[in-house]
Structure 1
Amino acid sequence: MFRYFFTLVISIYVPAVIYTGYRLWQMTKYFFPSAPRIGYWFFFLLFSLAFFLSRSVGSVLPDSISESINLFSYYWLVALLYLFVFLLGLDLIRFINKLTGISSGFDKLTPHILLGAVILVGVILLYGTWNARHPRIMNYEITINKDAGSFKQLHVVMVSDLHLGAVVDRSRLEKMVNMINALKPDLILMPGDIIEDEETFSEQNMLATFGKLQSKLGTFVSPGNHEYYRGTTKKSFDRLKEVGISVLEDDYVKIADSFYIVGREDPAVERSQGKKRKDLGEILDDVDKKLPIILLNHQPTELETAEKEGVDLQLSGHTHRGQVFPANLITSRIFEQDWGYLKKGGLQLIVSCGYGTWGPPFRIGNKPEIVNIVINFHGGQA
């Protein structure tokens, strides 16, 4: 794995950094003729190495400094990506222009175009930071063709991928709780990646904030892969039970003798704890499949299995819809449905792009969301 990562860095990242740095140096020299070359390259390369430095020496630095370097590195990496792509496009246009001779003055404009690109990238990153802190309500209304006892309609709020910690802190959790409570749901469901940083979660007493969630039938959560990335994170996740939140790990609960909520373990449990996940069929062995079945599965996968086992609605997150464009082009190829609604036979799937962020503290090309779902039950209808 390390050899693959090292090869990737040497073959792609280093050439991209040198190319982008050289082209930006040309712009800098144009506007600031006396700018010191050595000073420019020292800071440019230092900034470009910040991501790797934060991971190699971050543990020996004070937390505040390590965290600041880490956050800065994400901004720098994404800025580099956007500028690299822009510069490649600009140089392609310059090459075509030289071949065709369409505009003799294009090269003179290049430094100004570059400066405009730098400003534009800065604006995009600022917008992405603002965007990540302003979630929207995403509404769905679906029908499940089963009887649900006395329930003809169920109002569910689903939120995933909070990644609570230093970036998505208590103030943002409080905002989420207030938004959810304002919707007055019957049921609150959270399919994983709730806690990112156990230490901050405890220091800011976020558990108490979770205790303020209000719904008629309760709050149910299932773990995601990030619950297992750090040894202590899962312990904090399990503490959600202390404030009345039900944690479902390859288990189910029957609500008012009317429908089922099933929570899946994430595959990460097998890698981190050596614990084998149960098969979905094994979990549902004693379930009355004449009643509606709602499945919390952090990753939007195993859809064929869910459909085969009679699941009516699967709620997932995990993808963040790429979080930062153009990563959404990758997630849309990896997953059959990386965001939104999909009907697959008798199974309905809703995938959320999540409430929080992981890595870069911004969202570009998508918005954080709380999912508001109205489920209509029509027993016996085709």
Structure 2
Amino acid sequence: MNGLILFLLAYFLLASYPGWRIWQWLRLLLPAWIGFLYWPLYTLAALSPLLERLPFGEAVSRFTGHLRNYWLGIFALFLVFITLIDLIRLIRGLISRHTGKRAEGSAKRQAILAGWLTCLMILTIGFYGSWQARQMHTVHYAMTIEKPADQTELKLILASDLHMGLEMDARRLQSFVQAVNQLEPDLILLAGDLFDGRFTDLAEPQDAARILSRLQSDYGVYACLGNHDSGPGLPDMLAFLQQAGIQVLQDESLDVAGVRLAGRLDRAPIAEQGKRRPLAEWLTDVPPGQPVILLDHSPLGLAEARGQPVDLIVSGHTHNGQIFPGNLIVAQIYENAYGYKVYDALHSVVTSGVGTWGPPWRLASQSEIVLLTVSFKSS
């Protein structure tokens, strides 16, 4: 409880700083009575991460959820730009004091210009990030597993982090399905976070299930659960996926095309999902020499997979940071934060995912599906 109080206190202090600086800028342009509009609106936006969790009904919850997503992005950008501007002002002031020379130009005019430039930068970044998040890329990796399967080669599609809910609408879902089907895969793997946390955020779940049911492959569509695929809505999520023809593997495995396909529960779900069991407890009946492909949402499962008969582990979760400098941060947290790496005989592929979490933007990251061409040793 103390930790939560400290977190909320820190958050509101952070939120107050750009709020006050924006208000100071608005006072240079507008009459004081604008504050009666500005402060309630700013407070509503700042409280949106908390309000969307309260039981106000679906319509209000969806509104505050959308508001939260955009607020998180805009707030972060304002915080960065305003901090930079204030640091520049501080440095200029120190230089002026040291040299005895005052900076030329009206302080008011400079403040107004800095405010407009900040707004322009944030609008530009927001529009570009939104556009970039909607561009679907295809990444191709080829690998060889030195074990035999029913076929000498399988064409797999890996996708993750659809985050179906507030921002992943039917049009984007349809584009995803079309992009996958055009590649004519043998097998489709969905590596978790198919939902954005609350099943009720799906505006038309029946339509979304119908769209996903059009995914086409020779051997089917399989998924594991991610940290957002959890909570009270989990039974509805599982029923939805079953309706869409997607088989969810929850610490279990089965044989597909001579390959053992396994899927895990998430290591750190944000709500109730079930207890994740160690691989050694359930991945025990694999015949010697059979290839094993493991779906594990978080790349943090890589270390445990090394000690098991796993040949390929596919993951998502990181979004490759989604928004700069997030890509630099996740690279320090995960052994493989993004891309294709090989550790002795273990192949690891981590995708940046299809959808977004929080701000519906991507900066220094991309929305993607992964085409994996997996060759096997001849029998």
The TM-score range, normalised by the shorter chain, is 0.7 to 0.9
Which aligned pairs between 1:286-325 and structure 2 lie closer than 5 A?
A: 286-325=285-324
CA contact under 8 A between 1:324 and 1:365: conserved in structure 2? Answer: yes
TM-score (norm 2): 0.88
Partner of 1:361: helix, strand, or coil?
Answer: coil
Number of residues of Structure 1 aligned to a counterpart in Structure 2: 371
**Shift >4 Å, 4+ stretches:** 268-271
AA aligned opposite 2:318: T
CA contact under 8 A between 2:213 and 2:245: conserved in structure 1? Answer: yes
Aligned to 1:55: 53
Aligned to 1:347: 346
**1:96-149 deviation per Cα after TM superposition (whole angstroms, max 9, x unaligned):** 212223871264423202211112112212222222222211221122222224
Percent identity, aligned pairs only, is 33
AA aligned opposite 2:122: V
CA contact under 8 A between 2:187 and 2:217: conserved in structure 1? Answer: yes
Deviates more, 1:231-240 or 1:65-74: 231-240
Partner of 2:298: helix, strand, or coil?
Answer: coil
Q: Distance in 2 between matches of 1:43 and 1:243?
A: 40
**Does 1:165 find its partner at 2:165?**
yes
Q: Distance in 1 between matches of 2:46 and 2:240?
A: 39
Q: Distance in 2 between matches of 1:113 and 1:278?
A: 54
Which aligned pairs between 1:218-229 and structure 2 lie closer than 5 A?
A: 218-229=220-231
Aligned to 2:192: 192
TM-score (norm 1): 0.87
C-alpha change, 1:155 and 1:203, in structure 2 (3 Å) is closer
**1:231-261 deviation per Cα after TM superposition (whole angstroms, max 9, x unaligned):** 23334324533454332222212223x3221
Q: Distance in 1 between matches of 2:184 and 2:60?
A: 41
Aligned to 1:232: 233
Aligned to 1:146: 147
**Does 1:65 find its partner at 2:63?**
no
CA contact under 8 A between 1:162 and 1:354: conserved in structure 2? Answer: yes
Q: Distance in 2 between matches of 1:375 and 1:329?
A: 29
CA contact under 8 A between 1:29 and 1:35: conserved in structure 2? Answer: no
Partner of 2:162: helix, strand, or coil?
Answer: coil
Aligned to 1:95: 90
Partner of 1:225: helix, strand, or coil?
Answer: coil
Q: Distance in 1 between matches of 2:161 and 2:270?
A: 20
**Residue from 44, 65, 83 that aligns with 2:42:** 44
Q: Distance in 1 between matches of 2:40 and 2:31?
A: 17
CA contact under 8 A between 2:73 and 2:358: conserved in structure 1? Answer: no
Aligned to 2:117: 116
CA contact under 8 A between 1:75 and 1:125: conserved in structure 2? Answer: no
RMSD: 2.6
Q: Distance in 1 between matches of 2:186 and 2:286?
A: 22
Q: Distance in 2 between matches of 1:215 and 1:49?
A: 44
C-alpha change, 1:341 and 1:7, in structure 2 (3 Å) is same
